[in-house]
Structure formats: C-alpha cells, structure tokens
Amino acid sequence: MPQVFLSLAKPCEFEIEKIKGSRFLGFARPVEEEKQALAFVEEQRKRYHDARHWCWAYRLGRAGESFRYQDDGEPSGTAGAPILAAIDAKRLTYVLVLVVRYFGGTKLGTGGLARAYGQAAKAVLEKAKILEVRIDRPVEVVFAYEDTAAIQGVMHRFQLQPIQALYEERSRLFFSVPSEQAEAFAGALRDASSGRAEITIGEEGVQQKA
C-alpha cells in the first residue's frame, strides 16, 4: 500500500471559455468516500438546476484503486472518462471532479465533447492546490540521560527530529515517522539503549505537505 499519495488541499472552481456557445464549469474537491462525492454532485445539481448535464469522475484509495465516472446523458465515453483521465494525469486520488454543462445550442460531436470535458477538468485541476499526503505513525520514546547520545545517534541515522520534546528526569520525545520506517526506528532505539528505552508506536495518521 502506498505510503505517499497526491490529493487536493481544498476545493477549487473554474469555468473555461465558452465552446460553440456551451458553458463548462469545473469543480474539483478532495473527498474521502463515495458518499461524500455523490452528495457534492447532488448539491451542485440543485445549485445549477438549469444546466443540461452534470458529469463527473472520482478516484479513491491510497493506490487509487477505486474509481467511478458518469456521463449523465452525454454520449457514452465523452464526459466521465475524459474527466477521470484528467485526474489520472495529475496522479491524484481521493478527488472528485464535476463538470457542469450549459448547452449553447450547437452540438459538438463525440470528439468535441470529449475534448471539452477533458479541457474543463484539466483546467480546474491546474488551478487547484496539490497536496502531498504521507502516511505516518507516531512514535514516543522515554529514556534516561545516560542513553541520550545513543538515542540521538539513531535519530541522526534515520534523519528524524522530534515534533515535541520534554526533558525531565527521564526525557520524552515524540516523532512522526513514515509508516514503513516506524518499526525499524523503534527497533533501532531499543537496540541502541540496550532495551532500556520505553517505546510506544501509535496508529497510522497523515502528514500533509503542499
């Protein structure tokens, strides 16, 4: 399972220039599950109730293993698939992109529609702020003064710095460690302190970097 993936920092909206009279409004937003994605689509259906089509795609899961798209009345393959392709071109996951179309009176043909929906999806994602998400695990180590040098040596080897430190009779350091390194880091701390250090590994969480 990937320990790092790309998503969106926040929702984004963008409307491209009209294409033969048709308007294409793009919406991109981070989502955690299908229910949340579909709820947003329904909200925009109500908000833009006078539009002709509400086409969308999403990709979910750390590895992007879950996806779905909807042409919403446009010819098959001309809307949802190009939107999904725009998401995949950015290597994003946990993302929904919706494109709302106001029909301008001139048909675009299947090729024209695919290009228009793909362009609208690409444009809104270009405007969006991309976020790198890393899966971390919290590690807490408690140790005596005599083991300070050994603990610092392990920190240096793993290139990690504590996110919080309490220096008392027994020092207490808190780390946010990439998930795949957490067990090895904890083991190295135990070995370096000859088992004297008290180490606790917590559940996975996320660290976000824009």
Q: State the angle between helix axes of 109-127 and 80-89 in degrees (0 to 180), rounded to the nearest 10.
A: 40
Place of tokens 């009209």: 18
The domains of the chain, with CATH numbers, are 4-128 (3.30.230.30), 133-209 (3.30.70.240)
Whole-model pTM: value is: 0.81
Strands 95-102 and 66-70: unpaired
Nearest-CA neighbor of 86 among 47, 53, 123, 121?
121
The beta strand positions in the chain, using DSSP E, are 4-8, 12-15, 23-30, 53-60, 66-70, 95-102, 130-144, 164-166, 170-178, 198-201, 205-209
Nearest-CA neighbor of 134 among 171, 88, 179, 90?
179
- Each residue's pLDDT expressed in tens, for the chain with a length of 210 residues: 678 899 999 999 999 999 999 999 999 999 999 999 999 999 999 999 999 999 999 999 999 999 999 999 999 999 999 999 999 999 999 999 999 999 998 999 999 999 999 999 999 999 999 999 988 999 999 999 999 999 999 999 999 999 999 988 899 999 999 988 999 999 999 999 999 999 999 988 776 655
| SS3 of residue 183 by DSSP | helix
Q: Identify the pLDDT of residue 24.
A: 98
